[in-house]
Amino acid sequence: MERALAQHAKGAMLMGVDFLPVAKKARASVEVEVKESRGPSPDTLRVPTAPQRGEAPDKRAALDDLKRRHDAECAHCTTAPPFTQTVFGDGDPDAALMFIGEAPGAEEDKQGIPFVGRAGEKLNDMIRAMGLKREDVYIANILKARPPNNATPTPDEAERCGVWLTEQIRIIRPKVIVTLGKPAANYMLKNRDSMTSMRGTWHEYADGDLRIPIMPTFHPAYLLRAYTPENRKKVWSDLQQAMTKVSG
């Protein structure tokens, strides 16, 4: 798995393509036999899932139950200005890799799914470039209800809705988290640091005995606004580091 991903990444870089969608052939090469570090026998995995991560017998059911409780009880969403529906999360509840963004936008509010607008298309490109499919990862936001005018979540809003994100992470127990943009990184790392100082280096999310490496990177919406070779290279480098960690 690691070698295939490294080769894919190297090829993409050599071609000067930052978000290269994986061609059929390259994707097939990711489907290799890997030996889980704690598993008894080799297993064919397309996406590595950390063994023994799952504590809930049925993570999907646990997430569905959490969403129901969130929608009824969230201190932020039950008092937020009008929105169409909550946007709780999307993807594989047993994913090794989780992306965390800021808050739903107009399209997400309409569909009830995170990252389905223009920023979502860019995020899909990023995921494909990593040799993965969107269904292989889990995607969530700090806020589950669309803020009016797509305003950046205030620290108070983030705290009130963020406790539900904490619960989501406890269920999913991803091996690696990639935060998208400054608000998500600041919330997860409980700091006010700049993107420049955070991105590209590993941080740690700590919640009780749960320790998860976090790689902050630019928000895909920022990337759309500033789609420079330099920024694309930075994001690609962050994603490569994340994939290496997921595969390790």
CB of 143 to ligand URA, least distance (A): 9
User: Is the Cβ of residue 88 or residue 236 nearer to ligand URA in the bound state?
Assistant: 88
Whether the CB-CB separation of 101 and 107 falls below 8 Å is answered with no
Smallest gap from Cβ 119 to ligand URA, in A, equals 4
- Strand order of the β-sheet with 203-207 is 90-91, 138-141, 97-101, 176-180, 210-217, 203-207
Enter the DSSP assignment of 149: G
CA distances (Å), 7 to each of 2, 48, 49, 131, in order?
8, 17, 21, 11
Q: Which of 141, 179, 240, 241 binds ligand URA (CB under 6 A)?
A: 141
d(CA 229, CA 195): 17
Q: In sequence order, which residues have a C-beta less than 8 Å from that of residue 4 and are 6 or more positions away?
A: 26, 29, 30, 32, 131
* 90 in contact with ligand URA (CB under 6 A): no
* Helix ranges, the chain (H): 2-14, 24-30, 59-73, 106-111, 118-129, 155-172, 182-189, 195-198, 220-225, 229-247
- Residue 102 binds to ligand URA (criterion: CB under 6 A): yes
In terms of CB distance, is 4 or 100 closer to ligand URA? 100
The distance of closest approach from Cβ of residue 138 to ligand URA in the complex, given in angstroms and rounded to an integer, is 13
Tell me the sheet residues that pair with 18.
Answer: none
Ramachandran class of 115: left when φ > 0, alpha when ψ lies in -120 to 50, beta otherwise? left
- Nearest to ligand URA of 140, 242 (CB atom): 140
Position among 89, 104, 162, 216 found at the interface with ligand URA (CB under 6 A) = 104
**Closest CB to ligand URA belongs to which residue?**
101
Cβ atoms of residues 74 and 67 within 8 Å: no
| Separation of alpha carbons 246 and 121, rounded Å | 23
Q: Map residues 204-223 to x or -, x wherever contact with ligand URA holds by CB under 6 A.
A: -----------------x--
Distance in Å, CB of 26 to ligand URA, minimum: 28
119: contact with ligand URA by CB under 6 A: yes
Residue 147 touches ligand URA, criterion: CB under 6 A: no
Q: Please say which residue, 90 or 247, places its beta carbon nearer to ligand URA.
A: 90
Residue 105 binds to ligand URA (criterion: CB under 6 A): yes
Nearer CB in complex with ligand URA: 119/129: 119
| Residue 130 token pair | 């990593």
Q: In the complex with ligand URA, which residue's Cβ is closer, 11 or 81?
A: 81
C-beta of 195 vs 221, nearer to ligand URA: 221
* Residues in touch with ligand URA (CB under 6 A): 101-105, 108, 114-115, 117, 119, 141, 221
